[in-house]
Chains A and B, each alone.
Chain A
Amino acid sequence: MNAFERAFVYLNDPFNWTRTDGLGIGTLLREHLVISVIAVLLAMVIALPVGVALGHSGRGSGFIVALSNVSRAIPTLALLTIFAVTPIGFGNRATTIALAVFAIPPILTNTFVGFREVDRDVREAARAMGMSTRQVVFRAEFPLAVPLVMTGIRTAAVQVVATAGLAALVGGGGLGRLINLGFGQSDYGEVVAGAILVAVLALLTELVLVVVSWALTPGQKRLPFTQRRRASGVPEPTAAGVPL
């Protein structure tokens, strides 16, 4: 049996899903999701207001560019350990904070760019119609910025789900533990099973958020998957997209 067949066997054994010693796939999956969701929400709470404020005023572009460049250079593993060596200690709390820090740059940069790119004329027209600053931000700029803001959140969420797998290397929980344990026992079936689970979860996250961002984008709706690509095939710009 090669590793993939063994992974298949591993994934089909109900015992591996429901065992209660903290290593059941169900438990680890829940742990993985809880860590990821909290991290992304935490990052959104911090990054969205800052991104909106900076994007609306158009200031701080130097800071944003520097942030998105530097964030690419920080090794994930290092970030995951940095909070662990502070008084926060090891475990899931340190992991969650590290992942939140990790998710801030993509959300912040995309929100900033989204609000920044709103046409000047639109902004002035909204103001001329008597909208207050708050109304301009929420009723004119926000709907136009939604696609980019959602791209940022999507990038961040997929990164977080993927990176949460690394947490097991430094004492955290989540699906990465299967990979780590498998390596420890030279059980490559378990390793591949864990890898497949993390990869599928990351792809599902991407898929779900594509649908969500399609639903949230105001205006004429076309199904995201039937949409024709622009004929030129120009690659869309990615903001701070580090694959993990």
Chain B
Amino acid sequence: MADNWSTILRYLGEHVRLTIAAVVIGALIALPLALLARRSRWLAGPVLGVSTIVYTIPSLALFAVLTPFTGLSVTTVLIGLVAYSLVILVRNFLAGLMAVPEDVREAARGMGYGKVRLFVQVELPLAVPAFMAGLRIATVSTVALATVGVIVGHGGLGQLIVGGFNANFYRAEIVTGALGCVLLALFADLLLAGLERAVTPWTRVQT
């Protein structure tokens, strides 16, 4: 019993670390990309186009193609997960920034806001709901996708699913892995929803 828990916790830990790292790195790359895409409409097309193509590439294939370069390591899984989270994040970041009304921007400019202040104090807060929506989708689907990392031996809870499968269809282990993933995804989603509530106090003001 105690033995099982240490195994489960180890895989759970790996799963959580992979998810957090993938979403954080994805967000750090996605923000500048979204800003760039918004600045020129020539870039917006290719950025969205590339993300659509990445979407169609199966995760198993992506991990498999990366393996000859990065080996059976966590890096392989991480690169794949970042690529997929990036796709979701860039779209949502871009949509959020585009949704800032032009009037608001004009008004801020009229009040003497410079480019940086306009971005940090006006555009960013207004785009937060769209950003958070993107982060939530990316996190939840990264939790689900991380299981595929089992193909290179770093799949977090996916390890339990396939491990149970290989151990003569040991159902308890399979179900533990599967249920663990779903619970982790729900927990992460709730956490981010709470965070969104905390950073956007103005949406709760009673009128």
Contacts and interface: CB of A to CB of B under 8 A. Distances in A.
B91 A77 contact: no
A94 B46 CA distance: 39
A79 B95 CA distance: 32
A166 interface: yes
B158 to A, nearest CB: 5
Contacts of B175: 85
Residue in A77, A180, A194, A195 with the greatest tally of chain B CB atoms within 10 Å:
A77
Interface in A169-221: 169-171, 176, 179-180, 182-183, 188, 191-192, 194-196, 198-199, 202-203, 206
B56 A158 contact: yes
Contact of A166 (B56, B60, B140): B60
B161 interface: yes
B189 A179 contact: no
A81 B178 contact: yes
B167 interface: no
B147 A77 contact: yes
Contact of B60 (A2, A72, A195, A232): A195
Interface in A153-170: 158, 161-163, 165-166, 169-170
A234 interface: yes
B161 A198 contact: no
B58 A234 contact: no
Interface string B77-101: 0000000100100011011001000
A233 B37 contact: yes
What's the dominant secondary structure at chain B's contact region?
helix
Interface residue range, chain A: 35 or more
B144 A75 contact: yes
A17 interface: no
A235 B61 contact: no
B145 interface: yes
Interface in A11-50: none
A77 B175 CA distance: 11
Nearest to B55: A243
B104 interface: no
Interface stretch (B117-125, B179-187, B194-202): B179-187
Nearest to A189: B68
A201 to B, nearest CB: 9
A243 B59 contact: yes
The 9 A-B residue pairs with the shortest CB-CB distance, nearest first, are: A233-B44, A78-B178, A162-B58, A73-B185, A3-B68, A195-B61, A195-B64, A75-B181, A75-B144
Interface of A: 2-4, 69, 72-79, 81-82, 84-85, 90, 158, 161-163, 165-166, 169-171, 176, 179-180, 182-183, 188, 191-192, 194-196, 198-199, 202-203, 206, 229, 231-235, 238, 241-244
Interface of B: 37, 41, 44-45, 48, 53-62, 64-65, 67-68, 84, 87, 91-92, 94-95, 98, 137, 140-141, 143-145, 147-148, 150-152, 155, 157-158, 161-162, 164-165, 169, 171, 174-175, 177-179, 181-182, 185-186, 189
